[in-house]
Amino acid sequence: MSDRASLERGLAAMGIDLPESAHDKLVAYAALLAKWNKVYNLTAIRDPGQMMSHHLFDALSVLPHLAGVTQLADVGSGGGLPGIPLAIARPDMSVTSIETVNKKATFQQQAKIELKLANFEPVCARVEEVRCESGFDGIISRAFSELADFIRLTAHLLAPGGRFYAMKGVYPHEEIERLPDGFVVVEAIELVVPALDAHRHLIIIERSADA
């Protein structure tokens, strides 16, 4: 099955309807990631079919849960995941990708140029050193760190009323128990990712009302 056919089947299974132009860019991104991965080791996954399921579908599975987000920060994004697929799917949403490893940030910059992603901005820096005056109404991470560390390292970037979106595998009971004071889980969503036989959860966290 071609990457295009695989993408369209996966999007249909998730109930995600995107324009043809987005399909084109998603397929192009997958090809670019596979090409650069041969030299720069951006991801351990080499198989093109797994690249689609483990990366693109996994990233896009959170899309329905970001409906109200307009300014998204993607922390520890590696090869641009989930930030680049989300930026492609949501051209109305500004996505800032924060990555400490220079070669990965360089790849993201190249993807921004080649895919013409005006709403995507890669930043090569440690997240605790990044500043944003207005803040982000959404901060997302995909296997970045334990929840407590994710919150502590990025809380200064969260706008009033904003939310953290932590993409996890199995439900992280113990990590949730270790959340810093002043932060609460408001929703935990079991994600279904086509062609991926693994547990996936989206943990949504807010500042508590009395924080």
Q: Is the pLDDT of residue 168 over 80?
A: yes
Kindly indicate the confidence band of residue 48, based on its pLDDT and cuts at 50, 70 and 90: low
| 81 is known to lie in a ligand binding site | yes
What's the angle, vertex CA 188, arms to CA 198 and CA 78, rounded to 5? 55
> Could you tell me how many residues make up the chain?
211
Kindly indicate the confidence band of residue 195, based on its pLDDT and cuts at 50, 70 and 90: confident
| 146 is known to lie in a ligand binding site | no
The domain in which residue 86 lies consists of 3-207
pLDDT at residue number 211: 59
CA–CA distance, 10 with 16 (Å, rounded to integer):
9
Q: Is the pLDDT of residue 210 over 90?
A: no
In a 3-state reduction of DSSP, which class is residue 130?
coil
What mean pLDDT is predicted for residues 153-182?
A: 96
Structurally, how many domains does the chain consist of?
Answer: 1
What mean pLDDT is predicted for residues 200-209?
A: 94
| 128 is known to lie in a ligand binding site | yes
CATH code of the domain covering residue 90: 3.40.50.150
Q: How many helices (H) and strands (E) does the chain have?
A: 8, 7
pLDDT at residue number 44: 62
Whether 117 and 87 have beta carbons less than 8 Å apart is answered as yes
In a 3-state reduction of DSSP, which class is residue 52?
helix
| 127 is known to lie in a ligand binding site | yes
